Amino acid sequence: MASTPNQQIQILMLEKKSPPSTNNTTNPMTFFFANIQGLKPATNNKIPFIRGLLAEAKAMFAAFTETHIKDHLDNEIWIPGYNLYRCDRVNRQKGGVGLYIEESLVCTELLNASNDVVEVLAVKVENQNLVIVVVYKPPDATSQQFQEQLLKIDHCLENLPARAPNILLLGYFNLRHLKRRNIANNIVAVITPGGSSDENSHSHELLNLCTKFNLNQQIIEPTRLENTLDLIFTNNDDLIRNVTISNTIYSNHNIIEVQTCMRGAPDRHNETSHEGAFTKFNFNKKTKWDQVSLPAHIRGITNRPLAVFKLALDKHLKSVPDQPGCGSYVGLRAASSNSLVDQALIHQEAWSQTGPRGALTPGTLSR
């Protein structure tokens, strides 16, 4: 895999993306990928946020780099409905990678390796014939340390069974000068001048591995500031149907949501009743969202991720003034629809008919 770094601009034309298959009408599977900068740091537990992401999207899996969970037990970072695969550092702090996979999927761990600098985790999803590889490489990794781990990936993929699986290579590689462009519907990898000799060597080694296994890079937009540092490679362009990149308050890296063309996921997250959910809202401090069940279509209504909606609603709830107590029955006219807006208007109308002590005003029950 060794190659000589070249300081000149190099362009590698990768395979043109093919249109996704549309002959299956079942729901497509979704997954998430991000540099999370600690799953459960002392001051900012991110597990409830991740649990909400997975539940909202009914995600197949979520992969994270920089998990920082060396000293955490599995039950501290467990998410209901998902199995956790993790590769932690042993002698150094931080780093690490983790993979939450939906529990109904049959999985085999193929590779779990850390040299205390670069972490690599590979898991095969047997009933999807899919191999997921997650990599974290910090900026201080040497060429030897990175190549050592790439060789393990090479050996792992080289020894897969004869029926070639789909491969997803997800990694935070810290390669600022490895640029990606979409030119005439072709994904183009560009190694630009300005990188250190180690960074240029890392870029060449990674591209050599990707060329060997026909892995094409899918992420075009920046994932941290102006840099595209979180990368997704696959040997089957048809797997990727849509990519959405969003910022989050839980990391200074963006989170990547990928809708795939893989089908046949079981309906493992049954819809629950929302009756009484809104009584859990806390009007004085942050709502305990893990006790609240919101309608699944909130995202479709607001065009925002559910986590963003929750933060905005928490802020609004704090500003709502207390209403006077209502000690008597208040008749409500029928709402024109069952929407939250119409229901809220009806209840607001009822409040306006009560006195300061909840006494009914004239005509309250005449409707």
Per residue in 148-161, pLDDT (tens digit) is 999 999 999 999 87
Do residue 193 and residue 124 come from a single domain?
A: yes
- Are 57 and 32 a contacting pair, CB within 8 Å? yes
pTM over 0.75: no
Is there a domain that residue 43 lies in?
Answer: yes
Q: Domains in the chain: how many in total? A: 3
Amino acid identity for residue 26 in this structure = T
> d(Cα 119, Cα 138) in Å, to the nearest integer?
9
The two beta strands, 61-65 and 30-35, are: parallel
Do residue 308 and residue 331 come from a single domain?
A: no
The two beta strands, 130-136 and 166-172, are: parallel
Is there a domain that residue 2 lies in?
Answer: no
**Residue 332, pLDDT above cutoff 60:** no
Do residue 86 and residue 53 come from a single domain?
A: yes
343: tokens are: 């229901």
Do residue 294 and residue 354 come from a single domain?
A: no
User: Which are the contacts of 244, defined by CB distance < 8 A and separation ≥ 6?
Assistant: 256, 257, 258, 259
What average pLDDT does range 208-218 have in this prediction? 92
**Which pLDDT does position 82 carry in this prediction?**
96
Name the pLDDT band for 104 (thresholds 50, 70, 90). very high
Do residue 86 and residue 173 come from a single domain?
A: yes
Is there a domain that residue 83 lies in?
Answer: yes
**Which pLDDT does position 45 carry in this prediction?**
86
Closest CA to 29 of 223, 172, 166: 166
Mean pLDDT is lowest, of 135-139, 223-227, 239-243, for 223-227
Mind giving me the DSSP string for 167-192? Answer: EEEEEE---TTEEEEEETTEEEEEE-
- The residue whose two tokens read 């009743």 is 273
**Residue 175, pLDDT above cutoff 70:** yes
Do residue 233 and residue 315 come from a single domain?
A: no
- Are 92 and 116 a contacting pair, CB within 8 Å? yes
Identify each DSSP E strand in the chain by its residue range: 10-13, 30-35, 61-65, 82-87, 97-102, 107-114, 119-125, 130-136, 166-172, 178-183, 186-191, 216-217, 230-234, 240-248, 251-260
Mind giving me the DSSP string for 329-340? Answer: ----PPPSSSSH
Nearest-10 Cα torsion for 8, 11, 12, 16: 170
Q: Provide the mean pLDDT of the chain.
A: 75
Do residue 294 and residue 362 come from a single domain?
A: no
Is there a domain that residue 5 lies in?
Answer: no
Is there a domain that residue 338 lies in?
Answer: yes
Last residue of a domain, one of 228, 260, 292: 260
> d(Cα 288, Cα 78) in Å, to the nearest integer?
18
> d(Cα 217, Cα 237) in Å, to the nearest integer?
9
User: Which are the contacts of 292, defined by CB distance < 8 A and separation ≥ 6?
Assistant: 277, 278, 280, 281
CATH of the domain at 232: 3.60.10.10
Q: Is the pLDDT higher at 8 or at 265?
A: 265
Do residue 216 and residue 153 come from a single domain?
A: yes
Task: List, in sequence order, every residue forming a beta bridge with 255; answer none if it has no partner.
Answer: 246
Cβ-count burial 25-52 (b if 16+ within 10 Å, e if not): eeebbbbbbbbbbbbbeeeeebeebbbb
Is there a domain that residue 268 lies in?
Answer: no
Residue 178 dihedral angles phi and psi, to the nearest 5°? -95, 100
Largest CA distance in the chain: 89
Do residue 171 and residue 311 come from a single domain?
A: no
- Domain extent, residue 210, equals 10-260
Do residue 179 and residue 129 come from a single domain?
A: yes
Is there a domain that residue 55 lies in?
Answer: yes
pLDDT digits (tens, 9 = 90+) for 254-293: 999 999 998 754 444 444 444 444 444 454 455 565 555 5
Residue 21, judged by CB atoms within 10 A of its CB (0-12, 13-18, 19+), counts as: exposed
Residue 301, judged by CB atoms within 10 A of its CB (0-12, 13-18, 19+), counts as: exposed
Do residue 18 and residue 123 come from a single domain?
A: yes
**Which pLDDT does position 229 carry in this prediction?**
87
Do residue 131 and residue 254 come from a single domain?
A: yes
The DSSP element (H or E) to which 298 belongs, if any, is helix 298-302
Name the pLDDT band for 169 (thresholds 50, 70, 90). very high
Is there a domain that residue 38 lies in?
Answer: yes
User: Which are the contacts of 136, defined by CB distance < 8 A and separation ≥ 6?
Assistant: 35, 65, 66, 95, 96, 97, 118, 119, 171, 172
Name the pLDDT band for 350 (thresholds 50, 70, 90). low
**Which pLDDT does position 1 carry in this prediction?**
46
**Residue 339, pLDDT above cutoff 80:** no
